Amino acid sequence: MKPVQIGETLIRKFVEFSDGIPMPVEAFANLTAERLAELTPELDSRCFGPEPGTLLISMHTFVIETRRLKILVDTCNGNHKSRTGIMAGMNMLETNYLENLAALGLVPEEIDIVMCTHLHADHVGWNTKLENGQWVPTFPKAKYLMGKADVDYYGSLPANHPQAELARECYADSVLPVIDAGQAVLVEGRHVIEDGVGEGLWIESAPGHTPGSCVLHAKNKHDHALFVGDIFHHPIQVQDPTLHISADNEEATALDVRRDMIGTYMNTGAQIFAAHFPEPTGGCIVSGKKDARFQFTD
C-alpha cells in the first residue's frame, strides 16, 4: 500500500507475514457458486487467489503518524502463541513482524497508542511478546485502546462457547497481560484521541462482529479515512453485505453495521482501510452497476 496523507496525518501499512493469503469462498457461509459468479465481474482481479474458489486476504497492521502520536491499528497474530481450533493455522508463528515495523523507521518504544479494533486472535497477537517466559506488552510506552464491551464479554467467556477459539487463548496471552500492566484504556461509544482545527482522530463503537468492535476515524476538512477492522473481511462484502462468516458474534447487527457504512460513505471519497483487504488494501466505496462495490486506491 502506498503511503496516504490525510492533512498532516501519514498512514502506512506493514504485513505480518504475507500480503496475499488464500481464503476459501466457503468461509462465507451463505456464498453460493451462483452468487459468486454474479459478483465476480465487479470484483477487482486482485481480490482473487491463484487457485479456483479462493479469495485473497492479508494480515497487516496500519501505522498512523500525526503531529504528536504514533499509532498502530491491530497487531495481527503474534509469535510463539499457542493457537488451536479454527486458529490452529496461526499456531507458534515465527514472523519478522518487528523487523517489518523497523523497516518503516519505527521501534516499539516509539509507539504511543495501539488501537485494537476488536479482540480476536488475529488482531491482538503482537500486543505482547514472550520475555523470560512471561507475556509482556510489546510496546512498553503505549496505551492500548480496546472496546470495554469486548473485554467484558471475552474476559468471562466459557471455554465451551462457540466463540471461545477466536478469543479465549488470545485473551490470556495478548489482552490480560496488557490490562495487568496498566496500559489498557477501555473505550465506550465515542472516544476522542486528537481534536484540532479542521482535523480529528476518534473511535466509535461498531458492534456486531464482536460486542466491542470499534472504528477509528482520521479526518480533516478535505479527507476522511476509516479503519474498520473486520466490519468487512473482504471487498466482496461491500457488493453483498449479507455475506457473513462464522466469526461474526451477532450476524444481524454486523449486517446492519455493514449496510450503514455502505450507505453513509458510498461515493463520498472516504477511504476505507480494512484489516484483511489484500494489496493495495485502501480504497473507496463507490456505485456499481447494480449495487455498491469497493474500488482500490492505487
Q: Which tens digits make up the pLDDT trace of 250-294?
A: 999 999 999 999 999 999 999 999 999 999 999 999 999 989 999
| Confidence band, pLDDT 50/70/90 cuts, at residue 162 | confident
For 233-254, the pLDDT digits (tens) are: 999 999 999 999 989 999 999 9
Is residue 82 predicted with pLDDT exceeding 60?
yes
pTM for this entry: 0.96
In the prediction, which pLDDT does 160 show? 83
Is residue 161 predicted with pLDDT exceeding 70?
yes
Please say whether the beta carbons of 244 and 251 come within 8 A: yes
In the prediction, which pLDDT does 37 show? 93
In the prediction, which pLDDT does 175 show? 98
Mean pLDDT across the stretch 18-32? 91
In the prediction, which pLDDT does 19 show? 85
Instruction: Give CA separation, 62 vs 28, 75, 113, 225, 228, in Å.
Output: 25, 9, 12, 12, 11
In the prediction, which pLDDT does 218 show? 96
In the prediction, which pLDDT does 158 show? 85
Q: Which domains does the chain have, with CATH numbers?
A: 4-296 (3.60.15.10)
In the prediction, which pLDDT does 157 show? 87
Q: Which of 277, 285, 227 is nearest to 62 (CA)?
A: 227
For 99-158, the pLDDT digits (tens) are: 999 999 999 999 999 999 999 999 999 999 999 999 999 999 999 999 999 999 999 988
In the prediction, which pLDDT does 197 show? 57
Is residue 188 predicted with pLDDT exceeding 90?
yes
Mean pLDDT across the stretch 220-233? 95
Cell of 235: 471487498
In the prediction, which pLDDT does 198 show? 61
Q: Looking at per-residue confidence, does 220 or 198 come out higher?
A: 220
For 83-97, the pLDDT digits (tens) are: 998 899 999 999 999
Burial of 64 (0-12, 13-18, 19+ CB in 10 A): buried
Q: Which of 166, 170, 174, 171 is nearest to 247 (CA)?
A: 166
